[in-house]
Amino acid sequence: MGRALASNCQLDDGVPRPGRCPVPGCGSLVGMTATAESTPSTRIRALSAAMVMTLLGQLLLGMANTFWLKLPDTGSGWTAAAPMALLMAHMTLGAALLVLAIWIAVVAFRDRDSNWLRASTVGVLGLMLAFGGGIAFMSQTSNDGASYLMAVGTSLAIAAYALGLYRIPVTSNA
């Protein structure tokens, strides 16, 4: 065969060869796992999976705030919030999520990856809505809309990154 083979491709004779298989439909899992580790799309996939998991953690932390954070019924909650550690943990994770979202957007931009550019635009938007909702809620604790905005932003971001993961092209029939 005149073609140069990259690593770990297994052709009809069953002998493993190094590289991604050049034969259409070959679907050599060995070849794919060997080359996947270093590709940009693998990095963005890992970051997005981390994002979905962290968003779920933030959802639970937000619910913990709903149930156990003591706030006045109306007016500013900043001075009276207790336990403050619960709120601080939620705010810190919110800020970390925003940083992660921007990181994913930068990687998507560098890779010129339209799937992840779309997903991360909606994700950053959802997180900004949630963050803004949190600040607005703490300024006026009777503002149910602001509280709901956090739930809306969280859902939007989870949906965006989950769809981004779903839309990764399938390269194997295995």
Give the CA distances from residue 117 to residues 46, 124, 153, 171, in Å, rounded to whole numbers and listed in that order.
Answer: 15, 10, 18, 21
Interface with ligand HEM (CB under 6 A): 58-59, 62-63, 65-66, 69, 87, 90-91, 94, 97, 127, 130-131, 134-135, 137-138, 147-148, 150-151, 153-154
Task: Report the residue number, 100 or 107, with the smaller CB distance to ligand HEM.
Answer: 100
Please state the closest distance from residue 103 (CB atom) to ligand HEM, in A: 14
- Give the containing element (helix H, strand E) for 18: strand 16-18
Asked whether the bond before 40 is cis by omega within 30 degrees of 0, the reply is: no
- Chain CA centroid to CA 23, Å: 33
Task: Report the residue number, 36 or 63, with the smaller CB distance to ligand HEM.
Answer: 63
Please state the closest distance from residue 95 (CB atom) to ligand HEM, in A: 7
Between CA 150 and CA 100 the distance in angstroms is: 17
Task: Report the residue number, 162 or 168, with the smaller CB distance to ligand HEM.
Answer: 162
